[in-house]
Homo-oligomer: A and B are copies of this chain.
Amino acid sequence: MLPGSVTLTEVAAAAGVGESTASRVLRNHGSFSQATRERVLAAAAQLGYVPNRIAGTLASAGSNLIGILIPSLTNIVFSDVLRGANAVIDAEGFQAVVGVTNYDPRREEALVASMLSWRPAAMMVAGLEHSERTRALLAASGSRVCELLDIDGPGLDLVVGFSNEGAGRAAARHLLARGYKRFGYLGRDFGRDTRAGKRYRGFVETLREAGLTLADEEIVPVSSSIEAGRVGTDRMLERTPGVEAIYYANDDMAIGGYFHCLANGLSVPSQLALFGHNGLDVGRFAPQVMSTIRTPRVGIGETGMRLVLAGASAQTVDLGFELVEGETA
């Protein structure tokens, strides 16, 4: 294959044993004498042998590859999920093949096909919404599939997450209980982030049940979340002066809003209340603790991966979320 790539055959020859014997020793599987073992190991070390898993996987059964598809690397949420999954992957001797979809179903489809061509032991994907073909590919692959971060809907196989609609509802209930009446919503494109869309719907629905509606809402088209929060808050307050509380699509945006308030001498939460989503450190250690919903992101990645590798049966696992009362709302 590559220049200088030592093969099992060469190691076996150098050790003066058959290929299969060398293979058994190297994988520590099957039986062989102590003397043989030493000779093979010595030969392997001396030649700098690195097993070729491509050949190994082809000859045996499944690979130790785990395909992981996340929408974005900019968003800490997905890094956290990846981190959780990776901890288990490492511990169990698997390897992560990761792809970034940019929230694009077509890209997701292409990446699924591409990953499946490596016959991964399992596929982890974000969310429950996938194209028809993605679903078909996944179903036909025979690999275990685990959908993460959302449980509001039917899954393909394993599903591990929390209810985004429920999170939106909880946020609304909290703000209503605090006595706020005029609400604003600041988010990003739902077409891409369907989970944020579910939170929005839960939020609005809960307001509606209380006989209220959003006073203003905006989808900010700026790429940086913090900037979007800051700019969006500014614009909304100017446009709709009576807004008392803003529900943000995530903590980054909420922090942006908080920065706007700090920079403009607006007192939080009396002049403007802020509510985020995720429970990031930046909100936790801000001058005023951000009111938000803490999601078990690392745990989701970890649990999902663990269940997949344990061969758990198809099921939906709700890891819940925790409302952080905070000081901003």
Residues of A within 8 A of B (CB): 1-5, 48, 50-58, 61-63, 65, 73-74, 76, 79-80, 82-83, 86, 90, 93, 95-100, 107, 113-119, 136-137, 140-143, 224-227, 230, 255-256, 259, 262-263, 281-282, 284-287
Contacts and interface: CB of A to CB of B under 8 A. Distances in A.
Contact of A115 (B1, B95, B137, B281): B95
Given A116-B50, A281-B227, A73 B63 contact: no
Nearest to A100: B86
Given A73-B79, A285-B230, A51 B117 contact: yes
A63 B55 CA distance: 12
18 contacts: A1-B61, A1-B62, A2-B62, A48-B136, A54-B63, A54-B119, A55-B58, A56-B117, A73-B83, A76-B76, A79-B79, A95-B115, A95-B118, A98-B98, A224-B284, A255-B282, A263-B287, A282-B282
Contact of A95 (B4, B99, B259): B99
Nearest to A121: B2
B53 A117 contact: yes
Contacts of A53: 117-119
B119 A52 contact: yes
Contacts of A1: 61-62, 119
A263 B258 CA distance: 13
Contact of A83 (B63, B100, B118, B225): B100
Given A4-B142, A259-B286, A282-B255, A97 B100 contact: no
Given A48-B136, A117-B52, A281 B224 contact: yes
